[in-house]
Structure 1
Amino acid sequence: MEDGRITPLEGVHNFRDYGGYGVTNGGRLRKGLLFRSGQHTNATDRDLATIGAIPFAAIVDLRGGPERASYPCRRAPGFAGEVFFDDRDSASLPPHLQGDLASMNEDEMRERMRENYRGLPFRSSIATMLKTYFDVLGKAEGPSLIHCFAGKDRTGISVALLHKLAGVHPDDIMHDYLLTNEASDRRKHMEEIGEFMQSRWGKMSEAGLYVMSGVYPEWLDAAFDSLLERCGSFDAFFAERVGIDDARREAILARLIES
């Protein structure tokens, strides 16, 4: 699947390698070093054997404390890496976006999520974890994995920003973001994501749940547009919000890019 980028698993959604893309200054992101997925709560023993074959040095868990407590992840036997997380809730919808979820059609839910994405890069818990994520990428002595609940929104934004930092072409950034829609059985995923979301925000329409089981181009566009409106440039965002200056950027990318 996707030139070996996607690894189909039984109980883990969206497990894939997000390296391998070319970058503007030459070279490409290393493969076998950068992985992303949904949570590992329902990982089977076979899944853990597959995941455990990768010597992960670090796992960045973007879920907050309530999610981690309700959906503890299974880790492969012998896992010796470090797990990084922030206990603050990072999955909440802003209050003004929580109403009428039970009656929404697909177009309405897509628009609701587009508006939600505009604030994602600036949510305090996510901003904190972005700093942690980039710190891990600059220091981990081996492969790393980043995940949230479904591995598509918080993880999708984080990975897209790493791709942007590295100079991956915008078409490839969007391509990788949209691979979520190919990496999982969306109808099957609806059940898991529906249980989680409806426990937080009440009943949701089937059309809304279907939308929430995937991703759409306008969502990532909205996040990036909002970032540029508020910060002026990606370089300014990285410097002001994530603490990445030119020297730190070079140090991070030196570990991730091969000629």
Structure 2
Amino acid sequence: MNDKGIVNFRDIGDTVVAGGYLKLGYFYRSGEISSLNPQQISFLKNDCQLDSIFDFRSQNEVAKDPDTKIPGTRYFKDDILADQTTNGASLAGMFANGGHIRDAMLKTYEQIVLSDSAQAGYREFFNEIIQSRKPTLFHCFAGKDRTGFAAAVILKMAGASDEAIMKDYLLTNELRKAANAKLLEQFKQEVNEQQLHNLSVALVVDQDYLLHAEETIKQNFGSFAGYLKSGLKLDNGYVNEFRHAFVATK
């Protein structure tokens, strides 16, 4: 379904999970959706029949490249890292951090798990999708970190294997190849060699980042269930309700 040129776009449905598969047509993930053409707008409105769009980007990111409006959809501005002065998930953050960009990315995943704004933002997201039970698109700038983590949580709640979750997470590197090359070429003459290197590293997802998020969850909440309960403060029956709504049995 990634044939309309929307960067890093996919439906994470049809993933095999315990007892069945995640239903298609409910959870779409992507990079930012600014400057969409009429065909892309029609695709999201009519083919995907979107009900809501969750934008996980910062105020500065949204102001610079606002989402294209999709008629008939509800828009949620949900700044996941609002309380972090720096993060490696935004384009500006990707240029920073000297020669320590990998450490900065690992730190970003800790923030995604532990920061108050991330926990509040993801809580709003997960509560809304279970209440509406309608097609939702969620995205950030590149659709890889803030979005990649949200997709991983959805798949984990649905009962997907660690291998299936990692496969979807790493698919970003394939789907962003052209966009990443374009960005690197765009900034080649504008930044120094270190900054360009930082950008090239930060634009790619690494399995260690998601594994670090999982380890951060384990260390701080004991388990994934503990994260959902104490971190996101979701209802005790949330996972069962989620599976009832979005998992099709074999």
Alignment TM-score, normalising by the size of structure 2? 0.85
- Count how many residue pairs are aligned between Structure 1 and Structure 2: 239
Question: Which residue of 2 is the match for residue 222 of structure 1?
Answer: 212
Question: Which residue of 1 is the match for residue 182 of structure 2?
Answer: 188
Question: Which residue of 1 is the match for residue 7 of structure 2?
Answer: 13
2:168 paired residue among 176, 189, 207: 176
Do residues 232 (structure 1) and 225 (structure 2) align? no
2:51 paired residue among 39, 46, 57: 57
* Alignment CA distance shift 1:94-1:102 (3 Å): closer
Do residues 37 (structure 1) and 30 (structure 2) align? yes
- 1:44 is displaced (CA, Å) by 2.2
Q: Is the 8 A contact 1:19 1:34 kept in 2?
A: yes
Q: Is the 8 A contact 2:166 2:207 kept in 1?
A: yes
Do residues 248 (structure 1) and 250 (structure 2) align? no
Do residues 140 (structure 1) and 100 (structure 2) align? no
* Alignment CA distance shift 1:215-1:49 (3 Å): same
AA partner of residue 207 (structure 1): H
Structure 2 spans left out of the alignment, 5+ residues:
none
Measured against aligned partners, the alpha-carbon deviations of 1:17-67 in whole angstroms (never above 9, x if no partner) come to 11111222x011001221001111132223222222221111111113232
* Alignment CA distance shift 1:191-1:35 (3 Å): farther
- 1:90 is displaced (CA, Å) by 6.2
Measured against aligned partners, the alpha-carbon deviations of 1:137-196 in whole angstroms (never above 9, x if no partner) come to 21224211111111111011111112112211000100101111111212124467x69x
Structure 1 spans left out of the alignment, 5+ residues:
none
Do residues 67 (structure 1) and 57 (structure 2) align? no
| Cα distance between partner residues in 2 of 1:231 and 1:137 | 23
* Alignment CA distance shift 1:33-1:94 (3 Å): closer
Q: Is the 8 A contact 1:138 1:253 kept in 2?
A: no
Alignment TM-score, normalising by the size of structure 1? 0.82
* Alignment CA distance shift 1:102-1:241 (3 Å): closer
Question: Which residue of 1 is the match for residue 16 of structure 2?
Answer: 22
Identity, in percent, stands at 26
Q: RMSD between aligned alpha carbons?
A: 2.7
- 1:204 is displaced (CA, Å) by 5.3
| Cα distance between partner residues in 1 of 2:160 and 2:236 | 17
